Structure 1
């Protein structure tokens, strides 16, 4: 996935418009995308800053930035185009096109297809038609390097995406055979990227030796759930490709309805590695479930 161009330098500040003010986000600010649900798994969208508490390594932080505004997304589609996924080709293609057509001003997309290795089929573009053309021209067939594709795609999104909110959607049957990275290495790398990972997996019920086969199914589902949990994304395991369009509707709504919460770490994080973050939400009426990335890796200058 190497490109013949230098990576974009991250902006020193980002301006975000809310209902009341224009905020400039300081480079030391850690910003989390936070989704809140009630016990019936319905999104809770009427909370205020006072309803949240944020903890960095168990130390409560002052919330300095809070927004409920819809934000543009830098979104990548990461498609397993190996031979075992060929039966799902039509539904997968339709799902990708549905999401690009639901784009909002400022959104951008890229497309990766992976077999034995991951390939950048279309770099970041604001034009849905570019992604539609690229997905129509993919050649299906070959092996599967799932973990490498997730890592490389998340890295590309993190470095090249122009929007603060970044995500990738991975669609695969999980027939992992060819990756260089193992589980521990990939999770560690994902913790360094500010990218949410959504995974749609089609577990193979046959005992055929793949990542999702019967003998390793529990371990595989655990891995996919860990990837989603660490990054603030979600994992889906549909019984058939017919469920794809409903799932991508859920993902689209999820990306559009998150809170943005920022804090300046009260503890000096320089020289440290990954730092665990916990976000809690309360409204005094019901039990609320919060989903966000599990932490952050202090960047140079933090």
Structure 2
């Protein structure tokens, strides 16, 4: 899609509704990592450095232990660097240079910023080992003062949801345009959570209650390819997937008319994917003795077989 096409898609989706849906979904029940419960810049910086190429569930234990040992930026700056590196190695947190850089960054905070963490991405990027992504993350989560985060998960979400072309500059522009003003803390957490939980390489749209299904281009078309997903999973957009949606939907209702069932299993119900398509799907399910269709034409209703 062209940049203009992307803008049109976002306008059609209604930015305010998209924003509200995502934030409500996130606040209703996100993964409860301890660094999401703090706005302490030092604690958040430690979590961001540890999280580079390390699974988050593994980071929790290491993060707690690190902060028990060096609870403040002053304590870390005063520590022997070899002890910090030794801890890093013992915890299998990846390249030991990250421990050295983190220790040096702590010293910079004390010496160059009078013990107070800088609050903008540009200033944070002056700290040793802190690149643009980490600087922006700390500015967002500690000070609510960041730009839109654009990582692999966010690119995947935007590519699928709004058909954003695979172009870093366009991803950054669209992500920034979509983020509400003065809301980088909750927004960046929310959109990364969406990519990490619902819009994974193999998506879990319905299972995780993705809040963007109503507007999502991939959900409408069944094409869940993305920049980091070069081939479409065979399940996505398949009849097997829609068969599953029919069964899950009918579990919630005693019976449904065809045109009541259709929109509940695909947002683009109608046209080539209207009643004729649905009847074919239901015929397969009836052959497998999973559903029964009663009546003809517009009067037909469908229910699960007892």
> Which protein has the bigger helix share?
2
Larger radius of gyration: 2
| TM-score interval for Structure 1 and Structure 2 normalised by the shorter chain | under 0.3
